Amino acid sequence: MAAEAVTGACRRFSDGLVEGQSLDYAPSTARFMDEVRRLDAIEQSKRKPRLEHDRSYRPGKLAPFEIAIEKAAADMAAQGRALLDDNATLDEFKAKARSGVIPFGSTWRLGKIYGPATIATRQAALDMPAIGQEGGLGEL
């Protein structure tokens, strides 16, 4: 037992800070030793060496969230979506969408607001012929 744990238990009992302590009577030896053991365990855990943070994935590489942000940006660029806001929460995106500040079809990905996809990209996604092509609106 560390001397700090014994003096700490004495201080906590004299201040009335021990849970379940009777303020009318002195603590029993068993109750006092429980508090000493508890404080000693806290002191021992403070003295333990801490584990080092594993930073092995960082040197020269991106963090997982940075990879996800870059992948989302590449996906949005492939869809022809312009970056409208670089730092926006989902709630801000919803408020802007409701108020009409951003165009219909805009999307939010990982803190960024992207505009609607280009017409050609949407047609390709729907597998529809473009206007003027065979089967397109130009033949109607």
CB atoms within 10 A of CB 69: 16
Tell me the C-alpha distance between 58 and 53, whole Å.
Answer: 11
> Amino acid identity, residue 120?
A
pLDDT of residue 11: 93
Give 24-49 pLDDT, tens digit per residue. 888 999 999 999 999 999 999 888 88
Q: Which two tokens stand for residue 12?
A: 């906590």
**Nearest one of 62, 16, 49 to 35, comparing CA atoms:** 16
Pair 102, 113: CB distance under 8 Å: yes
CA–chain centroid gap for 19, Å, is: 36
The pTM (predicted TM-score) of the whole model is 0.45
